[in-house]
Structure 1
Amino acid sequence: MAKALAVTGALACGAAAAYYLYGPAEDDDDADDLPTVTPSECTQIMEKITMIMQQQINNLMRKIQAQGAQIPQQMLQSYLVEHFETQLKEVQSVVFREFGKDEDEVEHACAYYEAKETRDDKVVEACNNLRSLYTNVGGRVELDLPEDLTVEKMCVIFEEYMGAVQQAQIAFSQHLQQLKARGAQVTTSQLNETRNNLMQNHVLTVLKKYDMTNLLWVAALEKYSDSQVFKAAVERCKKGGAAP
């Protein structure tokens, strides 16, 4: 829940970066103009930006862990969001130049290929992967949720999701026991990677079942965080009521 309720850092991004993270503006007067960036180019650009940003976040987290500093969660999230937005502005400038495109061209292309009438699935996925990375560090993205994703349905999904989290924790404990039995030597970084992979595999199974992405999941948590019905479901999970 912490990620879904994370604070939003100061907007250090340029216009294109803001679009990539928060979605297209409703009053885009140029929405009907054909983009000068092809879907393939747009996808490659977004994938490269996401790859570089993922590497930078991983490196930063390793440095923070190596220092062993105990940073309050809210302060850490604020720092990560600000760092992400600042670095994204620099990274996108480099990648745009590499592809011979400017900020406005890429922004318009993404908006065009994400529009319902001219949608390109690969571009949409590439843009959403960057947004998902942003939410993972504590950023906030607002999306239109599917009409059938009611609070009642969200409660069902949430309980299954938390059940998957519990299963991932059990699987990780079993993994640790197997390592100890073999006398294997592993680093903290390797253990963290194993834990994260187990968690992702388990929870993604639940999200895929309901045709949801990580990005949509975080947006839904944000929307229903103040719902009394949803809060009751959260309390049930805290008391061990999640499905095994």
Structure 2
Amino acid sequence: LHTPMDRRLTWGAAAAAAVVVVAAALHGRRGSQNKEDDHPDLTSDEIVAIFGELHRRVFQSMQRIMPQIKAMQAQIPNPEHLKMIIVGEFEKNLLQYQEEVFKQHNADEEDVKHSTWYYIDHKNDPVKEAVQSLQELYGRFGGEVEAEVPEEIDVHTMCQVLEEYFDVTMAIQARVLKETGGQMTEMVQMQLQTLVQSETDAVLKKYGLNTVTFQAGCAKFKSDPVFQKKAIEMTEQQTAMSGGP
């Protein structure tokens, strides 16, 4: 049983196996306990730079390959299988860039893990935000992340958030399609993803949420009839807009 004191930001077993250091930081798993209070080898600026560089590189890489993956949807009708492919690509890229970025900063796995937790324990907001930003990116590409939903978010508020989230997404899609004459090139898809991310982030922020806690909220209320009704309504609207059956 995990409590808030665990400060766990869990990536899931697959990520933990694939990306040892970054996953360990997000899991809340430290190295040697007797080193816990030692002054870290890396500065907080270096930790922020490491996580920021990982975020930038992985995001750019995923943007490049997502059109290819989406083109596979017809051959892979099972959404869970497709999700596994996307998450696998994310983790593969993160593992590759992790090694490169650590080397650039003359750091090893233990340095990064210990330093990251040192600054989080000492309530260093820039480090915490850098870690959470990478975690949110993982969640955007299908990675499973555990997070607590704020107490003030009940099922009715969650329905409102979901509706605004869908409305913003569909409005941006309609605008971009109109501006491009319906030509959905790779460049247009990348621009669309960036716009949707920016606008939906703003929606979530109004309610004190981010991508991770939004996903947690959807999971929390997925069995609630009120939320189910709203989710079906939004899905039907999206299908109608896309010209589906």
Q: TM-score range by the shorter chain?
A: 0.7 to 0.9
Secondary structure of residue in 2 paired with 1:10:
helix
Instruction: Give the CA RMSD over aligned residues.
Output: 3.1
Paired position in structure 1 for 2:62:
57
TM-score by length of 2: 0.76
How many residue pairs are counted as aligned between the two chains? 224
Secondary structure of residue in 2 paired with 1:217:
helix
Alignment of 1:87-236 (within 5 A): 87-115=93-121, 118-177=122-181, 188-236=185-233
Change (3 A) 1:58 1:199: closer
Superimposed CA distance per residue, residues 93-147 of structure 1 (whole angstroms, 9 cap, x where no aligned partner): 22112212111221122223233xx222221221122112212221111122322
Asked whether the equivalents of residues 155 and 233 of structure 1 are also in contact (C-alpha less than 8 Å), the reply is yes
Instruction: Return the offset for 1:92.
Output: 1.3
Asked whether the equivalents of residues 155 and 230 of structure 1 are also in contact (C-alpha less than 8 Å), the reply is yes
For residue 20 of structure 2, the aligned residue among 2, 15, 18 is 15
Paired position in structure 1 for 2:49:
44
TM-score by length of 1: 0.76
Which structure is richer in relative contact order (CA contacts within 8 A, separation 6 or more)?
1
Paired position in structure 1 for 2:82:
76
Gaps of 5+ in 2: 1-11, 238-245
Gaps of 5+ in 1: 1-7, 181-185
Instruction: Return the offset for 1:196.
Output: 2.1
Percent identity of paired positions between Structure 1 and Structure 2: 28
